[in-house]
Amino acid sequence: MAMLGALLLAPVLLLADIWHSPQLSAIHRHPLLAGVAAVIALGVVAGAALLLARRPALVGPLAVLALPFRVPIEAGGTTSNLLVPLYLVVAAGTLAWIVPVLRDQAGGEELAALKRRSRRDGPPPSRRRPEAGKSDSEARAEGNGARGGVQWVERLLALYVVLYGLQSLYSPDFEKALQQMVFFYVPFALLYCLLRRLRWTPRLVRACLQLVVVLALLFAGVGFVEYATKTIFLNPKLIAANDVHAYFTVNSVFFDPDIFGRFLALVMILVAVLLLYPRDTREQLGATAVLAVLWGGLVLTLSRSSLGALLVGLGTLAALRWRSSRVLIAGAAVVAISAAAIAITPKTFGLNQGLNNASSGRANLVSGGISMFGDRPVWGYGSGSFVHEYRVKNPGTSQTLSASHTIAITIAAEQGVIGELPYIALVLAALIVLIRGARADPVRAAIAAAFLALVFHTLLYADFLEDPVTWTLLGVGMALALAPRPEPAAEPALTGQPAPVIA
């Protein structure tokens, strides 16, 4: 019922807020056409829901396929880039899951009883395979610990979303907060629920990995064409920036080079795990070729935050694969060499222009966000209020300002300690669950490394729970954390056959 309420109420709240705004002027002028379009859209969702009801595993690949695509929709003189394909998948997947439960009361009661038994007893003994050297009681205790950790992650996710909604009530930019809820938090929470309930077999994991690699290669190819022709297909602001700078930055189909760079870095981390564990030689050669192509695309974005995220993710993979002490020593050596290079040639890195200019104005945004937090440290200025309040305190600020580019500071300024503490607790709880037991499982290691890299990127560019990739990694990672472990003699998780996940 909660999922159904979220699916229905989110668009109703948005329409109620913008009904008299210029964005809906076309609907007011042509109500019949708008009604026909709505019926067609509902028909498409219903048809997709029927397909997913018969083959629920398709939710995973379809969600992965839809993740990167944003559709520019112009209305009322403004253009918004919306994740329309992903919204379609989420709506259809949600209907496919809840309609049978509401229709078949007996089935719903049986599912509830199964959930209660699984929470009380854990996975059945026939499907519980303790690791070598561990007794059944030790394996059961470890499984209960994973279940408890997942429950805490989900409670913190729910708490943060609820707090964000409540703190929008006193925000000076309520419409921004409402859009965040309707376009990001609500549909992505539904996406998490769908992915969390999937049975993530090795075959499904491999299919999703292959799909995301193909997408990344295609997007990198678009970036190469942009660089070769010195033409940007999207983002007029980036076109203007390239016209006044000596360098040329590509953004492929992402409207933003940093978001494009983040996507490439995360895919590279997922592919890199194939080189760290025993695999077929041809598969490793293919992974090496993919990494070379994606690296070229990442370099053309000139996204320093994405390069940093890639290093963090690769370092995490190495720490999970080998001894952490060696990785820390290597990481310290890289940091020392980088610091020496910056000190020797600061002009190369733009530091001769000052920290703010070298960071494209982000230093001022960070200091401004900290000042806002100092003014209201407990409850903040309200959800979605950063841009509004920053411009009030700093007249003449660029109209392209969208956030502080540091998610922790954005949350502190908007929601104060009330929002900051759940955010920190969520990140820590998620990392604990994702990393625990990841050493023995390449898939879980890749998910944990990608999530940590994404968290690092949000500290330099923002967009944490506003990014569907975050919810996707959490959904898959939590499902795998609850999956019974394969027998010790089995192949690594990339090719083994784990038992189903019980929701």
Structural domain boundaries enclosing 63:
1-107
Of 353, 373, 355, 372, the C-alpha closest to 364 is 355
Average pLDDT over residues 275-293: 91
Same-domain status, 77 and 218:
no
Question: Percent of the chain scored above 90 by pLDDT?
Answer: 44
Q: Say which residues have a Cβ less than 8 Å from residue 111's Cβ, sequence separation at least 6.
A: 101
Q: Quick check: 134 pLDDT over 70?
A: no
pLDDT for res 351: 52
pLDDT of residue 493: 45
- What pLDDT is recorded for position 379? 93
Same domain, 375 and 271: yes
Tell me if 148 is assigned to some domain: no
β-strand partners of 72 = 81
Judge whether 147 lies within some domain.
no
Q: Are residues 67 and 199 in the same domain?
A: no
Residue that finishes a domain, picked among 48, 74, 107: 107
Residues 70, 82: contact at Cβ < 8 Å?
yes
If you average pLDDT over residues 322-341, what whole number do you get? 73
Residues 23-36 have pLDDT tens digits of 677 777 878 887 88
340, 465: one domain: yes
The candidate with the shortest Cα–Cα distance to 192, out of 498, 465, 402, is: 465
Mean pLDDT taken over the chain: 81
Residues 84 and 199 in one domain: no
181-210 tens-digit pLDDT:
999 999 999 999 999 999 999 999 999 999
H-helix or E-strand spanning residue 47: helix 31-54
pLDDT score recorded for residue 89: 94
More confident site: 31 or 312: 312
114 is a domain residue: no
Same domain, 235 and 357: yes
pTM across the whole model: 0.83
pLDDT, position 133: 42
Alpha carbon separation from 405 to 31, 34, 87, 456 (Å, rounded): 40, 37, 25, 12
User: Per-residue pLDDT tens for 57-88?
Assistant: 999 999 999 999 887 765 444 566 788 899 99
Domain co-membership, 78 together with 201: no
| Domain co-membership, 100 together with 200 | no
Domain tally, the chain: 2
* pLDDT reported for residue 70: 84
Tokens representing 99?
A: 């309609």
424: in domain: yes
- Same domain for 87 and 208, yes or no, is no
